[in-house]
Amino acid sequence: MSYWQNKVAVVTGASSGLGLAIAQALVAHGAKVALAARDADRLDEAARSLAGGETLGHGGDNVLAVPTDVTRDDDVAALFERSIKAFGRLDLLVNSAGRSTRSEALATTPQQFQELLEANFLSVVRCVQQAAPHLIRSHGHLVNIGSLASKTAMPVLGAYPASKFALAAYSQQLRLSLGPQGVHVLLVCPGPIAREDAGRRYEEQAADLPASARKPGGGARLRRIDPHWLAARILKACERRRPELVVPAKAKVLFAISQLWPSLGDWILGRYS
């Protein structure tokens, strides 16, 4: 029997991309999943696909869709209230909601920094505070989807690295505080995820930036990651209760160099981006 059989998960950012791929993997392994995202129509479509065409946006045996803006306290509280009411427990929270941007650091306004911190960091704080009592009870798993930008900063990603660095620090704090209470905390730091609109998403934002800024990862020379392959790796990392998952793994060498020799790390980053 699968490790995930009959376990209960909440996945944010679940209407597309990596969040949806993780939800699909969980359902395939027999888990019950609450899907959360802002766009109610896309979320319902995702829920229908997972439930074999049934309308499960208002509750069902294995899939529940809860339209949620994770930057709003009331929405997040309602997400967990509905999830616990429908499934009775919580074994896994995956914080996958978030967004990136393109701009030079000096051209990024305080308001833009605040918006990215809300979307990529404070949203996770809200969800964790709601989920923690249930995860402590189940000795469950908390997965925060960061980025390679959680560890190193590309020059044209605007407020994105700052928001993901904050998430990395928070994840370490949670490992230290929740670990002794039986909760596994995993920070996932992937490179660019393969998607249909790769290379076109930031055309307007990057109009005055180098052409590389339009590319996934802000021009980092990395192979695009299949979200379904990564979803499987994330579930396996949970089963093994690993603290971090960095993809590609070779990026950890750059992280180590940057900590020990910042100037050399900056040179390598410039050379390969």
Task: Output the pTM of the full model.
Answer: 0.90
pLDDT in tens, 97-143: 999 888 888 999 999 999 999 999 999 999 999 999 999 999 999 99
3 domain-assigned: no
Domain containing 216 equals 8-271
220 domain-assigned: yes
215 domain-assigned: yes
- Which residue reads 């009775």 in tokens? 88
pLDDT in tens, 170-212: 999 999 999 999 999 999 999 999 866 554 555 555 445 555 5
Neighbours of 217 (CB within 10 A): 21
Question: How many domains in the chain?
Answer: 1
Nearest to 255 by CA among 174, 159, 191: 191
- Which residue reads 């971090």 in tokens? 244
Residue positions annotated with a catalytic role: 160
Q: Is the pLDDT of residue 10 over 50?
A: yes
136 domain-assigned: yes
Q: What's the rounded Cα separation, in Å, for the pair 248 and 55?
A: 38
CA 43 vs CA 5, 52, 121, 240: distances in Å: 23, 14, 22, 30
pLDDT in tens, 60-81: 489 999 999 999 999 999 999 9
pLDDT of residue 206: 46
pLDDT of residue 112: 94
2 domain-assigned: no
Give the max Cα distance, the chain. 56
What are the start-end ranges of the H helices in the chain?
17-28, 40-50, 73-87, 110-117, 123-138, 160-178, 227-239, 251-260, 262-271
Beta partners for residue 143, in sequence order? 94, 186
Which tokens go with 64? Answer: 């529940």
235 domain-assigned: yes
CATH of the domain at 132: 3.40.50.720
Q: What's the rounded Cα separation, in Å, for the pair 223 and 16?
A: 20
Q: Contact 88/8 with Cβ under 8 angstroms? A: yes
The residue count for the chain: 273
3-state helix, strand and coil shares in percent for the chain, rounded to the nearest 5 = 50, 15, 35
1 domain-assigned: no
Q: Is 152 exposed, middle or buried (0-12, 13-18, 19+ CB in 10 A)?
A: buried
